[in-house]
Amino acid sequence: MSSTMPMRVDGDLFDAAKAVGAVASRSAAQQINHWARIGRELEASPGTSPRDIQRVLAGKASYDDLGERGQAVVRAIWDEQMAERLARLDLAAEFTRTGRSWTEADEQGGAVERVPGTAV
């Protein structure tokens, strides 16, 4: 059975973990643990270097050129990046700001058209 130990983390890291963790249904502590496991896997992988991972993430190298562990690390990082972007995404606010209408599903699954400036 694993045990937990208290530790201090930077406020920025905690805030990021809290935001990303909420999207992934994790607490901030669980998210930090998740990131730590990714780092551990990366360091434990003799065939994959952080530089190789960064080149793939920057679009300067092919994902297919990485080994299985390197690909797993890249997928985990991509998942984190997508979760962060989704956490910041607010299409209703963007559409309202630009005056565009949109359609979404209500609680019963019916289509509801939203028009900026009108009551719901």
Residues 78 and 64 in one domain: yes
In a domain, 55, yes or no: yes
Supply the range of the domain harboring residue 94. Answer: 90-120
Question: Consecutive 10-residue runs of the chain (120 residues): their mean pLDDT?
Answer: 79 90 86 85 75 92 90 87 85 92 93 86
**46 and 57 in one domain?**
yes
Q: Say what the pLDDT of residue 1 is.
A: 53
Q: With contact defined as beta carbons under 8 Å apart, do 20 and 84 qualify?
A: yes
Q: How far apart are CA 110 and CA 103, in angstroms?
A: 10
Is there a domain that residue 4 lies in? no
Model confidence, pTM: 0.54
pLDDT attached to residue 119: 72
Would you state the structure tokens that stand for residue 81, as one six-digit string?
Answer: 């990046």
Residues 6+ apart with CB under 8 A from 92: 102, 114
Is residue 37 included in any domain, yes or no?
Answer: yes
pLDDT of residue 14: 92
Residue 2 within any structural domain of the chain: no
What total number of domains does the chain contain?
A: 2
Render the burial of 106-116: b for 16+ CB within 10 Å, e for the rest.
eeeeeeeeeee
